[in-house]
Structure 1
């Protein structure tokens, strides 16, 4: 497929930046109120943004007149996207069109998390691996990138590492596409009665439906009503933003389940494991709450194909010895996960203060690229044994007394580093010459004992985004960084003498 309608679609922030640049005048308060509407209506099209800004810059501050200009913009966009739709209809296979139809199931103007969209595409069977043993999620990710590259899908937000975080269909395209989608068998009309949770024969309930507060099942999922997850053939299980705390034993029978995202804030747990475990395909287990009752050894540690693991461990004062055993069991389980590429471990007490975190050397985990650790590291030397492919690292509450920079600087692919509250308790920090060759983002938060930070010549050459927050004893910015023209510096809650 080849659809062209100008330059690359701009995200929301990019669109507003371009709009204000073209206006070349102070934006009046009345127009600021229309920011969201302007960004949405332009649909990321640079030519539409420029044209609208040019027209509005020549008019007086009259809200009615601006509204009429926006209406005219809608008509112009309809013509642009009608041509694009014709091209899509001609060149895009039905199975790819269905991926676009799926956008219509989300609420209007909703910024769709890429993670959720990819998982839902996979669950609906809208992507098929092209080679044996290829992960469907990877295929779905490539499909989305293709649609973005063709300017059909608009990126709304990006992550720090540059990857897409949220997206949606451009405003005018969505209106046209939904009218076509309503005619397709993929989009169906569902019963809206709140008196029942059962579904009419032949109709499929989709997770995206539950994002709509008007949907009859919204209260059952987001309210204080216990929802039972039954054993079924699914890959459709995302409970991340729900109040579901306990999953029934039937989850262990879900042999096709690939991704399970749980409600960490509501302490989602697995019930005791039955004799038979069929979760052999599970690749994502995120937000699971682990306490003294969780069966880790001989239970969770049998899930050895996980690629993305996020656990929250909570200590109870009366169960310290049990929890030490649990943390060791978690560490041994992580050590067995040779396919792991994302790891997040949290360990705190009942007062939400960091507690002990056990971890074994991970240098052999060649696929592991992202690590988030919250808790006091029982083995501080672990920071020198992270895998070389690590690109994103966050440490919080680690209690390190030795400068971590002298160990982390050797990681050749590290792009994002966050040292958060109590991760390092020393007074001096040094980034040696040639260190951190790929690091682009560095965040230093609440390192309350840090007094002096030195950066040697040739270190941090790729750094573009530096944020220092609440490092109350830090005296000054390293001289090596003072004249970096491409460096974006953000200071929050810093002493006046530092900012001066």
Structure 2
């Protein structure tokens, strides 16, 4: 995409995806005038440009969707200088290392979806995200969290329906307190070091689909209806799937009352 001169399109509403590292791209000059944007996607952001991007975003009072990714794995996304994006922001996608979740995230009272990837957060992000009143979909993927445990506290995520915990290689346990995730319908887990079925999963009475990917075989066997000690805590879920590597592809299994069936 040609980036030079974009700033003259002052009525533009959607802009995907701008290479922030393009030599012809002047962040303040090209993004600053685009105050009518409803959707913005930025790629290859470097830390030094974070403050300039924040200044531009704060002028976009109609912004509903924001996607930001960094240029390299080691380059931190710095969005901390922003007071708060627009109150209308509904979708937020962050891909790249973060020192921490920006403080302004807690002010996004209308946010319905957030995806964080490759962020390498050491602290559990759920304390921050769990208070968002309208959040429906949460993706924590590709080493976004590098700690060992995620803890869903009572009252957290009151409207969340989809939870995707994908490729969290260091995480070995998930705790779900009674009263958390009350309306959750779909849960995806790709956590190769997971040692046990998420503690408290039996509290998720609205859960319709549970999918495990690349978990230890012993954990899969523990959910087998034929003697598996964890079967009783997942039997209320209508659809339970397991994905495992097979050669260059994958095999998929579905939990039935008589055992696992390949699908």
Common topology (TM > 0.5): yes
2:39 — aligned with what?
Answer: 308
2:63 — aligned with what?
Answer: 340
Structure number with larger C-alpha Rg: 1
CA distance in 2, matches of 1:346, 1:340: 17
1:473 — aligned with what?
Answer: 193
2:78 — aligned with what?
Answer: 358
C-alpha distance 282-326 of structure 1, shift in aligned 2 (>3 A) = same
Contact 2:111 2:135 in 1 (8 A): yes
CA distance in 2, matches of 1:383, 1:456: 26
Pair 1:376 & 2:107 matched: no
Shift of 1:394: 0.2
> C-alpha deviations, 1:340-365, integer Å up to 9, x for none?
1001111132xxx3631121446452
C-alpha distance 364-404 of structure 1, shift in aligned 2 (>3 A) = same
Uncovered stretches (5+) of structure 2, i.e. residues with no partner: 222-263
Contact 1:354 1:374 in 2 (8 A): no
CA distance in 1, matches of 2:176, 2:125: 14
Shift of 1:485: 5.3
CA distance in 2, matches of 1:279, 1:467: 41
Residues 94-493 of structure 1 mapped to structure 2, 5 A cutoff: 268-271=1-4, 273=5, 278-293=8-23, 294-313=25-44, 323-349=46-72, 353=73, 355-360=75-80, 361=82, 363=84, 365-382=86-103, 384-469=105-190, 471-482=191-202, 484=204, 486-487=206-207, 488-493=209-214
Contact 1:421 1:446 in 2 (8 A): yes
Q: What RMSD, in angstroms, separates the aligned Cα atoms of the two structures?
A: 2.1
Higher relative CO (Cα under 8 Å, sequence separation at least 6) belongs to 2
Shift of 1:324: 3.4
Shift of 1:423: 0.8
C-alpha distance 370-286 of structure 1, shift in aligned 2 (>3 A) = same
2:217 — aligned with what?
Answer: 496
Shift of 1:269: 3.8
CA distance in 2, matches of 1:379, 1:332: 19
CA distance in 1, matches of 2:37, 2:135: 22
CA distance in 2, matches of 1:498, 1:286: 42
CA distance in 2, matches of 1:355, 1:324: 6
Give TM-score, length-normalised by structure 2: 0.76
Contact 2:50 2:78 in 1 (8 A): yes
- Structure having the higher helix fraction is 1
The alignment of Structure 1 onto Structure 2 pairs a total of residues equal to: 218
1:83 — aligned with what?
Answer: none
C-alpha distance 472-426 of structure 1, shift in aligned 2 (>3 A) = same
CA distance in 2, matches of 1:367, 1:413: 12
Contact 1:442 1:463 in 2 (8 A): yes
SS in structure 2 opposite 1:450?
coil
